[in-house]
Amino acid sequence: MSKLSLKNRIAFYYIISAALLIFVVFFSIYNIVSATINKNINDQLRKEVNEYKLKVGFQKNILKINDHEEWEKREHNEAFVDPVFLQVTDLKGNIIEKSRNLSTRKLLFKKNIKKEEISNLIVLDKSIRQIQVPLYFNSKIQGYLMVALSTAEENDVLNSLSKILYILFPIVLLTLFFISQFIAGKSIKPINNIIAISETINKNNLSTRLPLPKNKDELFVLSNTINNLLDRIANTIEREKQFTSDASHELRTPLAVIKGTLEVLIRKPRNTEEYQSKINLCISEIDRMNNLVDQLLLLARLENQKLFLRIEKHNINDIINEVINQFSNELQKQQITIIFDCNSPYFINSDKYLLSIILHNLISNAIKYSKIKSSITISIEHIDNKTSIKIEDHGIGIANEEIEKVFNAFYRTNFTSNHTKIGGIGLGLSIAKRLCDVLNIDLKLSSEENLGTTVTLII
């Protein structure tokens, strides 16, 4: 079955279903015709019985036929087409009277029956159906009347009907098979078109899209789904190319600085202070490059979903204080004050290491883009069984049209790009956003240019 094509499988399943349905229909037709014929025969037998019961009497404790003329009729004397066979017996089955067309044969007798009994038997090499009824006189059974009719013609009709149905069954199935193959071929033609177009799409030709059918059926959904998939693949490849280009550029920059500094140093002898200054510059660039590599590795783990989470209960106040202490030198250098006055402790269930990275990147950005001698406010509160952490600075801000873009890797706003003194490689918010997605933390950002930025974490 698995080796059959889709068209043939559809035709096969259709023909199996059709075969069962046709069998049920033919079987029903045969049984309905058979039941109708049998009912007509039984009705005819009962009619004959009712007629001949009137001609049987009981005189001097002996069963008698009141009118022998009826027994002399041709239909009882000859065994031609549709003869009627008659027989009257006593309680023990002794024949009192019978029609001449029975000759030396006799009808089937059953003892001790109290109501009509219908049987099928062979008489004179003919199939007949017999009805036996008790004869009551003075509320007692005194004998039995048996009437039989030939069923040869009815049997011939049923045999002919069964032969016709047997012949029609394979013919109808074969016809339906070819029709179903044709219909299946027409039905899967759009799928073949989808396959043909899909085969033309490769890494160098991701712009091709499948045409959408006019009818919004399953094929429309399939084509639309494939187009959406191609859009996602194209966007992913484009982001990967941009990511590779940006990462190469960011790695090349410190390497170029280190190379240029070392080339200057070897041109001529320098004093100790000059050597120390240039070496410290190289160390700074190496630290920057190490930081970039660490962030790239973290992004790679996020992309591959290879982070191991350790969800435990933690005091968020302590985590924030630890992160703030890491920026003591920068805060003192830029004369920035962090206002974090939280008297009551707040506990959350999360991964401490990843949450620390998120807070580190957000507070780092707040310090980096704040104005000298400004302040940064950090607050915590409970809202609807959730913990909200808000980090608010009074820095350069972000334009509305760039807020959604700042979460892209290596993206830096036009404003920061024009201020070369502001460091950074554009990975902090991207990493923070992806870690928030991993920890099911809702990250919201609002900002106004030259007024500041507010970042809210809802845990």
β-bridge mates for residue 58, sequence order: 63
| pLDDT score of 78 | 46
- Say what the pLDDT of residue 307 is: 66
pLDDT in the model for residue 423: 53
- Residue 9 has what pLDDT? 78
Residues of the chain with confidence (pLDDT) below 70: 1-2, 59-82, 124, 242-243, 246-247, 249-250, 299-307, 409-426
Residue 127's contacts (CB-CB under 8 Å, 6 or more residues apart) are 120, 150, 151, 152, 155
* Residue 422 confidence (pLDDT): 54
* Residue 387: half-sphere exposure toward Cβ, Cα within 13 Å: 17
Angle, alpha carbons 22-23-28 (nearest 5°): 100
What is the C-alpha separation between 459 and 455, in angstroms, rounded?
Answer: 13
- Residue 101: predicted pLDDT: 80
**pLDDT in the model for residue 302:** 67
Residue 21's pLDDT is: 92
Q: Can you give the pLDDT at residue 214? A: 79
- CA contacts within 13 A on the Cβ side of 25: 10
**Which single residue is written with the structure tokens 């044709």?**
182
9 phi, psi to nearest 5 deg: -65, -40
Helix (H) or strand (E) holding 337: strand 337-339
- Calculate the alpha carbon distances from 25 to 12, 29, 175 in Å: 20, 6, 17
Sign of CA dihedral 85, 88, 91, 92: negative
Residue showing tokens 């808000």: 390
pLDDT score, position 96: 85
Nearest to 324 by CA among 388, 389, 376, 392: 376
Would you say the pTM of this structure is higher than 0.75?
no
**Residue 225, H or E segment:** helix 218-265
